């Protein structure tokens, strides 16, 4: 098969790494890709918001399957665009159409879906700018901390958790006044869930078939001990020790299967990844959010633990035959540590030379997240720069290896957390 993978981050490098191991691949293209994916296939400088350019490339290179890494093209309707063009409509597309992508693109849509299908989640109500008084009255029925969510996509910044009613009122007014542009024209207010988070991933084939991939836990805050500002993700571990067989059975019975069946019952065509952002509330899983793609940096550990051929799973997703597939997980643990630019997630400098990658690759799998090649030198090109993932017979061992490898990679002002996974291993 000729495969076109869309995206340019560590998640896409990890997907490319796994796809490239498949015997079903004739050619792998990554658009736009990064210096890491260039070693696994051919990078193509496509602008993912230019759907016509994507369609032309698909035709020109006789692409058999498109795999979409990030959410924005899905929410904007790339799958619909290719399905509506007679010359690309038969190409397998991994990722939902616009309607299914609303599971991530609209918090209100996702909450209404969960309510309709009895999927456990926080109690909520949605309000628009004409309902500020009702919204503030609803806040007072909840016990702080108070959770406000912009309805639309906000690059991970649209969730605010406030300690008092007054602060929540002020944040609500700002959101309705356009703090997140049109994304906060509607605001979901929901009950605060106490617990520990994890990420569960499924592939779903649009006919009720699904498989569950290895679960993972990501670390979002910049500082050790989960302190400081939120980031795009500072590391991840898989498996998640508290997600034992009984817990994962509840996740499948109460969340994954009802979601898959709900999509079929609502006539929402969906062939692709579903990311369940879950809270373990005293042993009971509840959905915090859905995403219509894989997680980053969870993919950087999930792909290490997925032993089944990914392209076979993706083909079954497109063909509607996932119920006949089995997922085999590597019994080893995997841990990912993200090296970031000094100053991130606030302002940071770019273009610093990076050394030590090949040495780190002797013990770990190195995924590029924000790198570039300039004058034949690998340089930093983003906030999150390199994800170092390792296997271990235990999580602690995998973490030790990743930390060791991370120390061999150097660039000016590099930073990484040293406590990834410590909360679930100690
Ligand atoms: P989301 O974008 O919906 O994943 O929310 C971002 C983060 O806010 C989540 O990863 C949680 O850490 C936190 N969060 C969201 N909703 C809730 C909730 N209802 N209770 C507690 N924490 C939440
Ligand atoms: N790691 C969380 C996300 O990808 O949204």
Pocket of ligand 1 (CB under 6 A): 122, 147, 159, 190, 192-193, 197, 277, 288-289
Q: How confident is the model at residue 157 (pLDDT cuts 50, 70, 90)?
A: confident
Tens-place pLDDT, residues 348-368 = 999 999 999 999 999 999 999
Q: Residue 155's pLDDT is what?
A: 82
Take residue 66 and report the two structure tokens written for it. Answer: 């498109």
Once rounded to an integer, what is the mean pLDDT over residues 243-251?
A: 97
Q: How confident is the model at residue 190 (pLDDT cuts 50, 70, 90)?
A: very high
Q: How confident is the model at residue 283 (pLDDT cuts 50, 70, 90)?
A: very high
Q: List the residue whose alpha carbon is closest to atom 3 of ligand 2.
A: 295
Query: How many angstroms is it from 287 CA to the middle of ligand 1?
Result: 9
Tens-place pLDDT, residues 75-95 = 999 999 999 999 999 999 999
Once rounded to an integer, what is the mean pLDDT over residues 95-112?
A: 98
Query: How many angstroms is it from 199 CA to the middle of ligand 2?
Result: 8
Q: Residue 426's pLDDT is what?
A: 66
Once rounded to an integer, what is the mean pLDDT over residues 226-235?
A: 95
Tens-place pLDDT, residues 377-401 = 999 999 999 999 999 999 999 999 9
- Per the prediction, the chain carries an average pLDDT of 97
Tens-place pLDDT, residues 289-317 = 999 999 999 999 999 999 999 999 999 99
| For ligand 1, mutation pick of 159, 193, 226, 284 (most atoms within 8 Å of CB) | 159
Query: How many angstroms is it from 339 CA to the middle of ligand 2?
Result: 16
Query: How many angstroms is it from 79 CA to the middle of ligand 2?
Result: 21
Res. 425: pLDDT tops 90: no
Query: How many angstroms is it from 296 CA to the middle of ligand 2?
Result: 5
Query: How many angstroms is it from 86 CA to the middle of ligand 2?
Result: 34
Once rounded to an integer, what is the mean pLDDT over residues 330-345?
A: 98
Q: List the residue whose alpha carbon is closest to atom 4 of ligand 2.
A: 295
| For ligand 1, mutation pick of 184, 234, 288, 298 (most atoms within 8 Å of CB) | 288
Tens-place pLDDT, residues 30-85 = 999 999 999 999 999 999 999 999 999 999 999 999 999 999 999 999 999 999 99
Res. 156: pLDDT tops 90: no
């Amino acid at each position: 098969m000729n495969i076109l993978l869309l995206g340019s981050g560590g998640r896409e490098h990890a997907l490319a790494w796994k796809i490239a191991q498949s015997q079903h691949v004739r050619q792998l293209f990554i658009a736009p890709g990064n210096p890491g994916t260039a070693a696994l296939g051919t990078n193509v400088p496509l602008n993912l918001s230019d759907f016509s350019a994507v369609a032309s490339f698909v035709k020109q290179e006789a692409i058999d399957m498109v795999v979409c890494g990030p959410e924005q093209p899905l929410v904007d309707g790339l799958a619909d665009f290719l399905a509506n063009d007679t010359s690309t409509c038969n190409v397998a597309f991994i990722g939902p159409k616009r309607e299914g992508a609303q599971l991530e693109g609209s918090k209100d849509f996702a909450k209404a879906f969960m309510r309709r299908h009895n999927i456990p989640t926080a109690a909520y109500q949605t309000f628009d700018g004409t309902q500020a008084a009702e919204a503030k009255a609803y806040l007072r029925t909840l016990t702080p901390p108070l959770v406000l969510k912009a309805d639309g996509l906000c690059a991970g910044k649209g969730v605010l958790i406030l300690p008092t009613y007054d602060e929540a009122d002020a944040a609500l007014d700002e959101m309705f006044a356009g703090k997140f542009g049109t994304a906060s024209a509607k605001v979901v207010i929901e009950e605060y869930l106490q617990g520990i988070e994890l990420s569960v991933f499924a592939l779903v084939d649009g006919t009720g078939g699904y498989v569950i991939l290895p679960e993972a836990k990501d670390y979002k805050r910049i500082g050790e001990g989960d302190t400081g500002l939120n980031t795009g993700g500072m590391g991840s571990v898989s498996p998640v020790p508290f997600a034992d067989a009984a817990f994962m059975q509840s996740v499948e019975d109460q969340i994954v299967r009802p979601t898959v069946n709900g999509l079929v019952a609502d006539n929402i065509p969906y062939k692709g990844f579903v990311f369940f952002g879950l809270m373990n509330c005293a042993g009971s899983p509840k959905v915090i959010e859905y995403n219509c793609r894989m997680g980053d940096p969870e993919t950087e550990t999930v792909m290490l633990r997925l032993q089944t051929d990914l392209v076979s799973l993706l083909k079954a997703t497109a063909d509607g035959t996932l119920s006949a597939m089995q997922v085999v997980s590597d019994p080893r643990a995997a841990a990912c540590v993200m090296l970031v630019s000094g100053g991130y997630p606030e302002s940071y400098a770019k273009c610093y030379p990076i050394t030590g990658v090949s040495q780190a690759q002797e013990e770990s799998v190195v995924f590029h997240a924000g790198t570039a090649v300039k004058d034949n030198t690998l340089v930093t090109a983003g906030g999150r720069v390199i994800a170092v993932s390792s296997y271990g017979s235990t999580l602690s061992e995998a973490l030790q290896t990743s930390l060791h490898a991370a120390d061999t990679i150097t660039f000016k002002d590099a930073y990484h957390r040293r406590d990834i996974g410590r909360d679930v291993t100690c």
